[in-house]
Amino acid sequence: QNQNALSKFPEPPGNPLLGHVSAITSTTRIISNVSHYIENYGKTVTIRIGPLFFPVLRALVTTDYKFFEFALGGSKILTKSENYQFLRDWLGNGLLISDGDYWKRHRKILTRAFHTEVLKEFIGVFESVGDVLIKKLEKYDGKPSVDVHRLVTLCTLDIICETAMGTKLNVQSGENSRYVESVHQMCRIVIERALSFIRFFNCTFWLSKDYYIQKSALKILHGFTLSVIDSKRNKTVHKETKKMAFLDLLLKVSHDENLLKIDEIQEEVDTFMFEGHDTTASGISFILYCLADLPEEQEKVLQEQKELFGDDKNPRVTYSDLQDMKYLECVIKETFRLYPPVPVIGRLTTEDVKFDDCLIPKNTNIVFFIYGLHRREEFFPEPEKFKPERFQNLDSAFPYAYVPFSAGSRNCIGQRFAMLEIKSVISKIVRNFEIKATFPRHEVQLSVEAVLKSVNGIKVELKKRN
Ligand code: HEM
């Protein structure tokens, strides 16, 4: 029945036995293969894993604006697709993967943790951790190239740890390297399981070496979060102080209103640690990569900084300064159009759903290809060109054409946090360095993992400003 209903959507030619496995299991080929399908067979296509008549899995892949609007803007398709389940061992029932009433209740509670007054308190963390990054980048002054992604990831990990847990991780200074290694291992294992036909199933995963690597990585990750929670709980004072990390706020809610259990708090903090560092690292790195190619746009970003701070390279930046960085905001948005840090998201239908005269049966996985949607010409003329000005007067008639943070009720809860963090870090780098393209120019090789990455790094040249 599932197969018949989905046959209304075209299926690109695939291997009769394996289906489209080879097109979607290599992280570096997903973008080109899916773009090819969409261009040649339709805005929404079906892909298959397994034999033609008895597939293990059929999924829809879409860049159809109307489908994005229907699913993200509506309330019928809120559950995450099956491949998110590989995060469950790490994030438990945290906000990213939970659903139903449990998700609704937690979303309501966690929204308080992203209130403007809370975010304002984090700017000091963005700034001081960003200063350490600047010091590290100074070592590359005048060198032919630096892979910024590696360094930026350590910076964003330090930021998320201090803001989420109120504890310094200091990975930029070489501390807690086992924690960093465990985060990297888990990110790798989760994506490999989602893409591997064999490790998709628990029974085969349990026989693999990665199962044991995951076990020891989780021991370190959960052990760290738990030890921070325990040390804070033992202090038993849950008064509202000025500077509170997400964890302090959640402990306060648990203490005052008994709304969250301790293991639920741990799952949410682990979720922030996962969702709140790789995304921003990808974003910051691609912004630097774009600016390296665009001296004029970079100069405009610098001029905006000079209007705000004169020649001071290390000013005390406030919330309102970050709000005033309007041109930089357009640069960030344009980078996220071309290089969305989260290039695909997945949903699962939990009931039969009618969309555009088609019945999409219960238990259908749907992949929303944000990367492809952002490059559609009807919404973004000259889509391959980097034009920050588009965001000065973006046509609001199509609110679902630009969705780097997703949209609707399951949009990114951390988007304002992320924008402030990214503005703080990028503006600091631009005030201190001229960012140039390497010679020969470094061509990124995009890879669709949990976030958008480049398998050969994201390299630029840095020259310290006088
Ligand atoms: C550039 C940075 C970021 C981007 C592009 C981004 C993007 C997204 C996207 C596309 C989703 C929807 C995922 C889905 O439907 O599967 C999402 C959800 C989420 N994000 Fe972000 N994110 C960013 C930063 C952050 C940060 C800094 C945090 C936390 C501090 C965060 C926490 C979350 C959480 C908890 C969810 C799940 C929300 C829910 O389902 O209710 N994100 N993000």
85, 123, 279, best to mutate for ligand 1 pocket (most atoms within 8 Å of CB): 279
Strand partners, 369: 344
Residue 412 CB less than 6 A away from ligand 1: yes
Residue 109 CB less than 6 A away from ligand 1: no
User: What is the distance between the alpha carbons of residues 253 and 388, in angstroms, rounded to a whole number?
Assistant: 41
User: What is the distance between the alpha carbons of residues 275 and 156, in angstroms, rounded to a whole number?
Assistant: 11
Check pLDDT > 80 for residue 2: no
User: What is the distance between the alpha carbons of residues 20 and 347, in angstroms, rounded to a whole number?
Assistant: 19
225 against 236, higher pLDDT: 225
Q: Which bin fits 315, alpha (ψ -120 to 50), beta or left (φ > 0)?
A: beta
Each residue's pLDDT tens digit, 210-232:
999 999 999 999 999 998 888 88
249, 412, 413, best to mutate for ligand 1 pocket (most atoms within 8 Å of CB): 412
Residue 418 CB less than 6 A away from ligand 1: yes
Average pLDDT, integer, range 273-295: 96
Residue (of 388, 292, 381, 370) closest to 334 by Cα position: 388
Contacts of 371 (CB under 8 A, 6+ apart): 31, 340, 343, 344, 448, 452
418 against 17, higher pLDDT: 418
Check pLDDT > 70 for residue 457: yes
Q: In angstroms, what CA-CA distances link 277 with 129, 168, 225, 270, 447?
A: 13, 14, 15, 11, 17
Check pLDDT > 90 for residue 285: yes
Give the DSSP H/E element, type plus range, for residue 80: strand 79-80
The tally of CA atoms less than 13 A away on the side-chain side of residue 180 is 18
pLDDT band at 25, cuts 50/70/90? confident
Mean confidence (pLDDT) of the chain:
92
Each residue's pLDDT tens digit, 130-163:
999 999 999 999 999 999 999 999 999 999 999 9
Check pLDDT > 70 for residue 235: no
Each residue's pLDDT tens digit, 331-362:
999 999 999 999 999 999 999 999 988 899 99
Q: What share of the chain is helix, strand, coil (3-state, %, to 5)?
A: 55, 10, 35
Say what the pTM is.
0.95
ipTM tops the 0.90 cut: yes
Please state which of the ranges 209-213, 318-322, 425-429, 434-438 shows the lowest mean pLDDT.
209-213
Q: How far is the CA of 276 from the centre of ligand 1 (A)?
A: 7
Check pLDDT > 60 for residue 199: yes
